[in-house]
A and B are shown apart, each in its own frame.
Chain A
């Protein structure tokens, strides 16, 4: 197991180096001149040049690159110009916000999608199957920002059940001391139930929005893979041997159908983490996606590079976890690995 993890991490090194080089070059190739942008609306040519010098953008590209990698090696991701903060600190603060939202959305989605997919597969053509088809089609065809805005409109603006879409906590609560960065956990550690409630109620709408969106791939994949497994011979044998339907479905069929579902889950998770920009925008969520997009709009190199690098590392780790999970679920993978 350990050698496998070690090997996996070794393989990741060249791709990370590649990511560093490519993001550096790509951000430099972006249209737009950060010096002109940050010199302000009333800047003269000299003012723009002064800013360029201050930002070190007047140096040759290769020198900028070496400076950048040297800083990276020291754990310094540089400074964001739009927010004025060190990128590493920003990502550290914002990643948990995105992760908490994404994880919760994913959990909600899994809790609904997997049973739905399993039920649809066991009774093809029944009302459950149709329900599954309708929800997945609806989920995948509604853009997230639209779902988000409709939810805000109905549950906040019309009904007033949901709190104001103002980020992770109600304005008048202060954030709990950071332990994990996940407010749901940190508020419990701090034994601040009121803040926990506030954090949870702020999370419901955005998490639901994400869940609606991610339902589709998970439910469809569960259904498809369950159908395939249910039609296979070992299930027929199990049924013929008189095992109860529950045992057949849960123990025999479901476990075997899990592999593609796990793969889909990992894809959905990484996709959501990077792509929930729109949800973050709608709910004023201080997450990593909206941070990266804002940086991109203002040609702010450092956060974009930091974001891509963080995402690359996350992907590597996620793939590692998935590979380990494969081994746990399917002994054949373990043998080959």
Chain B
């Protein structure tokens, strides 16, 4: 072969390879499918379609929310920026057409025409079985149920085919809200029981792979780690028929590509993008970007109060005066958060959570406090963060490190891999760290019970123990259950004030949930679980 021929054949091959890269011809069937389909792109996908499963991840909650019904749900109200926002205090029936709350029980009347995806009617025995399952399987679902004092199968009583009563163990304001979270979903008991085994009495293996509910959508195809395809359940009766016929949810790990897909108009909705991207997309106005604060959620700097130097409240206050709050808001969050610092000196404490504290960046004061505490020359410590959220945590910790160095506190940054983070939190040995906590149930005493109470739950990451604090938190819980508003208000104010003077954890900001979508997508609703509700969305 001559060199010239050889070259020719090579260039011929190259040209041949380039041909299919031409823009593809779009067939009409393809265009139709596009207009009735919602394409969602996100970083991670579900690992289990059943929230009762072992270790179901957060994307799995989204599937459960849309494919299963609960007895009750929340009404909507107008939230910040005119976006529909779930109303914490108003409930409506979902599978229940009516419900009556008595002193020590609540009775639900089920809709007579509700059917599971396979056509069997939803009856009281399914409700009983599903709630029994939620309180019995262990792990997260059982834990979540117990947060509303729902712990025993005996609490769920079948009265007739379409009536169920839930008995209260004790008076608890969180019982009713807890029946409207994702966990107490109603499962097709006959179908799942048929596929259960002796080793797996609750049929978790079966419901992990397919949805067995009565919800507005059903999963028709699920390729783990790649995509989830959901079709509308046209026989859904628990609300107005959703407008979107088909939801395709693709996992796109690269944040840059998710943004490119949105900006090119190929994807309809995405979340989990870096704050900078959201801020830029907001500014250029080609897409709708919704940013709403996490309900009952705060990013904070925590300090381990059991060990020196942070066992000294003066040191903690010094740190609180030395944090670069505004820099974090600007350079890390790009303004996409509510500041939780720098409230005016004379502002009275509100009966609400989260609310800003009165610390501000004040290096002189910080230095003075440190001298008072006996650390005039500063000290050395480490600051830890969860690598899973490195996009926010890493720059945040660098800024904190820089700022603390100015008052003589030398910090080393400790990056903890995501898989290890919870283990580390559980050990409660990290001296200084940043983390986020947010509760599904939006009540101050709920937040404080998990984060500040002396029973030392996982989320009391500071190991903070104070008899006074415990008294106030318990007092508020009892007062809420019995409706004693005066005591409740006094106790909430009390524990908020105490949390700010003792300052075992320093709130930084309330993060935003950011969702970017095409201009022709409407109906986005904010829910406590912060995932999408497809039932309300519309396209075009």
Contact = CB atoms under 8 A, between A and B. Distances in A.
Interface of A: 30-34, 36-45, 47-48, 50-51, 54-55, 80-85, 90, 93, 108, 111-112, 115, 119, 122, 149, 152-153, 155-157, 160-167, 170-172, 194, 197-198, 200-201, 204, 246, 250, 281-284, 286, 290-291, 294, 297-299
A167 to B, nearest CB: 6
B140 interface: yes
Contacts of B139: 39-40, 43, 47, 50-51, 54
Interface in B416-438: 417-420, 422-423, 426
Interface string B261-293: 101101100000000000000000000000000
A178 to B, nearest CB: 12
A298 B34 contact: no
B463 interface: no
Given A157-B260, A161-B23, A204-B21, A38 B254 contact: no
B113 interface: no
A32 B426 contact: no
B48 A111 contact: no
B55 A39 contact: yes
B253 to A, nearest CB: 5
Given A34-B419, A43-B458, A298-B418, A84 B224 contact: yes
Nearest to A54: B54
Given A42-B143, A81-B55, A204-B17, 16 more contacts: A32-B417, A33-B420, A41-B422, A47-B139, A108-B17, A111-B10, A111-B13, A115-B6, A155-B21, A157-B263, A160-B23, A164-B264, A167-B250, A170-B24, A246-B1, A281-B253
Nearest to A250: B1
B15 interface: no
Contacts, number: 180
B208 interface: yes
A286 to B, nearest CB: 4
Contacts of B251: 284
5 contacts: A37-B55, A41-B422, A93-B223, A155-B21, A204-B17
Given A156-B260, A161-B21, A47 B250 contact: no
Contacts of B266: 164, 166
Contacts of A85: 224
Closest 3 CB pairs of A and B: A38-B55, A32-B419, A83-B224
Given A83-B47, A298-B418, A42 B144 contact: yes
Given A165-B257, A167-B250, A43 B21 contact: no
Given A38-B54, A47-B143, A246-B2, A153 B260 contact: yes
B20 interface: yes
Q: Chain B: interface residue count, which band?
A: 35 or more
Given A164-B266, A284-B252, A284-B253, A198 B457 contact: no
B143 A43 contact: yes
B530 to A, nearest CB: 12
Contacts of B418: 37, 297-298
Contacts of B223: 93, 286
Contact of B252 (A122, A162, A165, A200): A165
Contacts of B250: 166-167, 171, 284
Nearest to A293: B253
Nearest to B53: A84
A42 B451 CA distance: 11
Contact of B47 (A54, A82, A93): A82
A172 B34 CA distance: 8
Contacts of B419: 30-34, 37, 297-299
B374 to A, nearest CB: 35
A201 B20 contact: yes
Nearest to B261: A164
A166 B252 contact: yes
Interface string B36-55: 01010100001110000111
Given A38-B54, A43-B139, A171-B39, A84 B34 contact: no
A157 B254 CA distance: 14
A39 B142 CA distance: 11
A145 to B, nearest CB: 8
B20 A204 contact: yes
Nearest to A148: B254
A149 B259 CA distance: 12
Interface in B1-42: 1-3, 6, 10, 13-14, 17, 20-24, 27, 30, 33-34, 37, 39, 41
Contacts of A283: 257
Given A157-B264, A197-B24, A204-B20, A47 B224 contact: no
Contacts of A30: 419
Nearest to B27: A194
Contacts of A172: 30, 33-34, 37
A43 B23 contact: no
B148 to A, nearest CB: 13
Contacts of A198: 24
Contact of B257 (A31, A82, A284): A284
A297 B225 CA distance: 14
A200 B224 CA distance: 23
Contact of A201 (B24, B226, B248, B459): B24
